């Protein structure tokens, strides 16, 4: 199967459940039971997974995939991330609704409107969403993805606007170099607006 051009992560496979090939799956869809409604899922290596049966189980869903018939086959899939292409997901045209995949590649503007970089990725290490930016040649600059740090997102306009102070992008941080700037962006999260942006894709995990 060809690799997806614009993959959006929908779920990650956890541990085997029972002896019949069922798996515990963490779904990032707004309705976890809708995981199979977006068509076949695929792994990074191109393997295709089709949901045959699905049922809720506390904070995960228990899924039986076509072709996975016993516990040994299920155990081999633990940790597999599942994706669909962005084109398979609904789009209602609302500017305030977007998928994290839509943000990658957008230009980054400061509060004066000047372009200062681009969005390289959206990360989450367990403490909230972070934007991974490339700023004037510096890679791996992390800022909190909060309303105060990123007051404007315009997917149709091709940019996000950041507040350099709220995002931790002060002149002092710039002078300290990449490592110090990254530490400032991550450790300074507690000083930002605590209203986090949602994880995952709209209607399949969140909207703005």
For the question of whether the overall pTM of this predicted structure is more than 0.75, the answer is no
In 58-125, at which residue ranges do the beta strands (DSSP E only) sit?
60-65, 81-85, 107-109, 115-124
Residue carrying the six token digits 């315009």: 154
How far apart are alpha carbons 208 and 199 in whole angstroms?
Answer: 9
**pLDDT, tens digit (0-9, with 9 covering 90-100), for 94-132:** 556 677 778 888 999 998 999 999 999 888 776 788 999
**pLDDT, tens digit (0-9, with 9 covering 90-100), for 25-80:** 999 887 899 998 888 999 999 999 999 999 999 889 999 999 999 999 999 999 99
Among residues 144, 150, 123, the alpha carbon closest in space to that of 188 is found at 144
How far apart are alpha carbons 141 and 181 in whole angstroms?
Answer: 7
**pLDDT, tens digit (0-9, with 9 covering 90-100), for 155-181:** 889 999 999 999 998 754 444 444 443
What structural domains does the chain harbor?
Answer: 7-88 (2.40.30.60), 100-191 (2.30.30.240)
Residues 6+ apart with CB under 8 A from 122: 100, 103, 104, 129, 130, 131, 132, 145
């Amino acid at each position: 199967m060809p690799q997806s051009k614009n993959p959006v992560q929908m779920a990650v496979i956890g541990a085997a459940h029972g002896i019949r090939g069922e798996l515990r799956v963490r779904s990032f869809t707004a309705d976890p039971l809708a995981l199979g409604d977006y068509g076949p899922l695929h792994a990074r290596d191109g393997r295709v997974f089709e949901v045959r049966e699905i049922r809720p189980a506390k904070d995960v869903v228990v899924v039986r995939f076509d072709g996975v018939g016993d516990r040994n086959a299920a155990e081999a899939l633990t940790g597999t991330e599942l994706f669909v292409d962005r084109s398979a997901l609904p789009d209602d045209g609302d500017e305030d609704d977007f998928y994290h995949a839509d943000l990658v590649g957008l230009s980054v503007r400061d509060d004066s409107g000047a372009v200062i970089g681009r969005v390289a990725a959206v990360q989450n290490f367990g403490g909230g969403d972070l934007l991974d930016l490339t700023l004037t040649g510096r890679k791996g600059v992390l800022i909190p993805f909060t309303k105060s740090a990123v007051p404007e997102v315009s997917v149709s306009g091709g940019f996000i606007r950041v507040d350099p102070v709220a995002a931790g992008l002060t002149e002092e941080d710039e002078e300290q170099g990449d490592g110090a700037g990254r530490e400032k962006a991550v450790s300074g999260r507690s000083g930002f607006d605590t209203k986090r942006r949602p994880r995952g894709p709209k209607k399949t995990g969140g909207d703005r």
